[in-house]
Structure 1
Amino acid sequence: MLNPLAQVSLDRLRQRKSVKWQRYPDDVLPLWVAEMDVEPAEPIRQAIVEALDLGDTGYPAGTEYQEALKAFSERRWGWDGIAIERTALVSDVMLGIVELIKLVSGPGDPVIVSPPVYPPFFQFVRSMGRAVVEAPLTNARLDLDVIERTFRHVKADHPVYLLCSPHNPTGTVHTEQELTGLAVLAARYGVRVIADEIHAPLSTTFVPYLSVDPNGMSLMSASKGWNLAAMRAAVALSNTDELDRLPEEVSHGPSHFGTIAHAAAFREGGEWLDALLAGLDENRKLLKDLLTEHLPEIGYEPSEATFLAWLDCRAISDDPATYFVDRGKVALMSGTEFGSGGAGHVRFNIGTSPEIITEAVRRMSASR
């Protein structure tokens, strides 16, 4: 199968009405938000067209999505730990995380995160009126010593740790040893771990958190792996029966088209995903080579997963996102939004064509 990242022209992309292509003027290359520049996988397109042809535009029902995810996890990760009766449909990963936080903790309990990390971890938690406590990464990896010190000093009845796995923005894939160590600490200090595993399909070495923690909870989705943010749906998973206590209205959030599209992705989208992963590997190498040649002062180590690159631009500017959009017409996501450790960094979306990556680095270099 052809590389999905090499199939869409810039002219066609600029016709899109999503936030990626509408936020900035047409002279700016948008490589900021986590949308990929791809056409839908054919099985997904067919599933949605068939639903439209049937007039199947009502409310979602059944467990087709969860069953497709279960089969995918067994094929892809060799993990048979999903129990359908311990899953729940939710509208998307972050709103699912909010509901799980409310389910396992109280209004005054803090939420611990490991920055630099996905900005909504801060935004959504603070909107709930909760305190955010940081246990920063060390060299882009979970630091179990830092996490233990944080767990030990947090004074709360039911603290929560939000795990990002694979990690956004660094693309780190946490090892089984690291995740097991986290689970041991969580049990020791009475912390509940909720894992955001939305990028899991974009890793070939992913370890599900629920495979190591009997009290674990997680959120999974086809949204990032197959570029389906417009079709809202996600699955909450647990190793306990606690999801039975979610409010009835939570299950009303996912769209019917979302559950259809995501189920088709997990069930029939493997060939497309493999081609995408190969394309992302090529893009990581391309970006590394281009930066080495044209912007060697930028630090970059190709990630193990996701379609995101984390660039250390401290040698160029304290505010590199503003610098590159103003001087080079390249929109990147500012590292300051990711919490501690993000200053002087940017997140660069490599889920696009090699031509656009090449042009972006050319513009960034010319801005110097």
Structure 2
Amino acid sequence: MMDFQNKIPFAIKTETGAIVSVDDVERGLAAGCHCPSCKGLLVARKGEQNRHCFAHYRDSKEKCFYAFETSVRLMLLSKLESVVKLNTPAHYTSFDGVKELVAKAHADIGVQFVPQAETHGVPAGLFQLMSRPDFHLALHFPAAHEPVGLYPLWLGRFIAKHPKTGVLAVRYNQFGDRMFDKSRPAGMDTTTLMLTILSENPNCLHWLYHPREEMALNALEQLAEQRRQEAEEKARLQQLKQEQLEEARRQYEAKQRMQREHQAVITAQMRLAEQERAAQRARDYAARAAQDSDKTSIGGQYPRSTPTACRNCQLQHQRLDADGYCYREVCIRSRAKRIARAEKADASTRYSYASMRGGANASSTTQKQASLVASSQPVSDTQRQWYSSIKPGSCPHCGGDRGNGPNGWWCEKCK
């Protein structure tokens, strides 16, 4: 128990049964009062230093625990007509485990006491708001032994009849600290101090019902439903976005896989084509080698050497000489210059090539062959074989019967 529990501000006058303040009785046992809770004898302590109060006489204080609360309750009930102002505390409600504000605290609310015809099933004090006559505040004065915040049995029926009336319960433990401390204004009696605390201290009251609570709960439910829908919509959009990303990833992977397969097909086709080209080149080379071998064996033209491109002009030709040159005039000059540099004293090769420029008719060719053989210059076996393979009147390059070209010694095909 707190210290003020042993200090009782109000008591019952034994002779009259009225609730009286310690300020209105004589000192000591002459007060003639008893405890409103345990009915024990009280003594009035009215010293010079401490605040005046009642106290249990002798052993009666050990058996009483609710003397302070009971005395304050009885005095408040007897002075309801004197209440003209109230300060209400803020009201909160719990929604989904979260404390939500229903109404803010209000100060200096002008009220007027409204007497009630009924005394059972209604709050003890009913007050009309001066600024809004259609609204009321009801004060419930619970018994001293009742727990704080306990809802009375009549509350549900009363709310159904008076939905615009707020109901507050009085908390007696908020009176003790201020009634007996030294901050009490000088000249203020105990009863006036009690009414002042009730009017000015919002902690003395506790909401049992607020008219806005149901509306606030409905608004909170709507807000919760809206948030739930928004969360579901957000989750749905997130899921849709995730599915779109997954579908895009699958399409990208499928495209990449198709490109890889297409590239693999192209690579295989290129490899197969290259193999076929290589095989064809091998077959062509074998066929040409066989053809050259046959011509060589039967005294035909001298087989060309490998590679088949001319060493000077790098062009493909059907026939090359033993040194890898074709029979074009520019290539002949190049070959002649090379031979001239290599063998300055050897003029037989220059004469052999120069003799071919005079024409391709049978008489001139035969005369030049004879003069070459009769000359003192030596003739190699290769030259002799090449000269012997040329038919009279044929192209000295390809051996074809095409006649003389514009240059006088090769045909139209070999020009």
Shorter-chain TM-score: what band?
under 0.3
| Alignment TM-score, normalising by the size of structure 1 | 0.23
State the structure with more CA Rg.
2
